[in-house]
Amino acid sequence: MKHLLSTRDLSTEDIVSILAMADHMAEINSRAVPKVPALRGRTVASVFFEDSTRTRLSFETAATRLSAEVMTFIASSSSVNKGESLRDTIETLSAMGVDAFVIRHKSSGAPQQITQWTDAAVINAGDGWHQHPTQALLDAYTITRNFNELNSMQGRTVAIVGDIKHSRVARSDIDVFTRLGAKVVLVAPAAFLPSSLDGWGVTTADSLDDVIGVVDVVYMLRIQRERMDAAQMPSLREYSALFALTPERANRMQSHALLLHPGPINRGVEMIVDPSLVPGSRILQQVSNGISIRMAVLFSLLGGDATTTLQNGVEA
């Protein structure tokens, strides 16, 4: 595997092995000094054409803990529009000596296009509505580890709730969850579903009340207020009435069920309940798992001979 552009680049075996490697990384992260020299001498450039402080910090922390050098490039989306082509930006940064690019871009497909213009590995840290593969891996990691299953979500049902159409998290999660054996039900108003679900292997539900009591995982997506204005929903109030997680709905979750959210949470929009009061909430655990997963991904792409180097790293 040269790049990680989409969850579709990963075989199911790849997914399972990255989750297993994340267990090693989690052990490193639990140490007093959570740092190993596994990627010493490597340079990771985090290039964020769209701002996302938390994802950027997560990747940069992961790279730092593996002793890689970190280069940060934050472009306001307008600087790209001012005329520098994506190609020129990437070729310029490549010339500085980069082993891996971590790319966040508002445009779907940008990380894939970038692979034409650099020899470095490219990791998609979120592109438009398309993909956010490390999010799906950390979500699968969080779910499987909480259910004490190493490589399967067989028999589990996940409800993904919210704006599916405009969500790279949903597209990535659906692919990974279904391939690990989970049943996925999408809970969204029609305007928030893509025009076609051919080949997605999912079912849909019209309201959260229909599924909240029977699923194993409730995955709430962030709702962007500006999407409401684009005539996609009559009103925020109507949306919240049908699809928000209220205290009443949270109380109807099964006792073992998990609550996940990719963050940042829009309180009062999709989350009316205080998530800290939901026993099944693993939202903060997702954030810490994110570092382990991103360490595993960086190591898989840049680490050369995986087992030996990792062993060296772990022992160092």
Active site residues: 54-55, 82, 104, 132
57, burial (CB in 10 Å: exposed 0-12, middle 13-18, buried 19+): middle
From residue 90 to residue 109, the character string flagging contacts with other proteins as x (rule: CB under 8 A) and all else as - is: ---------------x-xxx
Number of residues that bind other proteins (CB under 8 A): 26
Q: Which residues in the 38-67 window bind other proteins by CB under 8 A?
A: none
Residue 197 or 272 having the CB closest to other proteins: 197
Query: Edge to edge, what strands does the sheet with 121-127 contain?
Result: 69-74, 43-48, 100-105, 121-127
**130 forms part of the interface with other proteins (CB under 8 A):** yes
Phi/psi at 110 (nearest 5 deg)? -55, -45
Contact 87, 117 (CB under 8 A): yes
Could you tell me which stretch among 67-75, 122-130, 180-188, 255-263 binds other proteins (CB under 8 A)? 122-130
Could you tell me which stretch among 14-22, 24-32, 110-118, 280-288 binds other proteins (CB under 8 A)? 110-118
Please identify which residue in 2, 87, 256, 267 interacts with other proteins, judged by CB under 8 A.
Answer: 87
Residue 126 or 275 having the CB closest to other proteins: 126
Please identify which residue in 57, 74, 75, 197 interacts with other proteins, judged by CB under 8 A.
Answer: 197
CB atoms near residue 23 (< 10 Å)? 13
Contact 65, 295 (CB under 8 A): yes
Could you tell me which stretch among 126-134, 209-217, 235-243, 270-278 binds other proteins (CB under 8 A)? 126-134
Please identify which residue in 15, 45, 98, 110 interacts with other proteins, judged by CB under 8 A.
Answer: 110
DSSP 82-143: TT--HHHHHHHHHTTT-SEEEEEESSTTHHHHHGGG-SSEEEEEEETTTB-HHHHHHHHHHH
**196 forms part of the interface with other proteins (CB under 8 A):** yes
**85 forms part of the interface with other proteins (CB under 8 A):** yes
Please identify which residue in 34, 128, 201, 263 interacts with other proteins, judged by CB under 8 A.
Answer: 128
The Cβ-side half-sphere exposure at 279, using a 13 Å CA radius, reads: 7
Residue 198 or 305 having the CB closest to other proteins: 198
Residues contacting residue 59 through CB under 8 Å, at least 6 positions apart: 44, 46, 102, 123, 125, 134, 294, 298
**81 forms part of the interface with other proteins (CB under 8 A):** yes
The Cβ-side half-sphere exposure at 190, using a 13 Å CA radius, reads: 1
Question: For residues 31, 312, 26 and 265, what is the CA-based torsion angle, rounded to 10 degrees?
Answer: 110
Could you tell me which stretch among 164-172, 259-267, 277-285, 286-294 binds other proteins (CB under 8 A)? 164-172
Q: Which chain residues interact with other proteins by CB under 8 A?
A: 80-81, 85-87, 105, 107-110, 112-113, 128-131, 166, 168, 171, 194-200
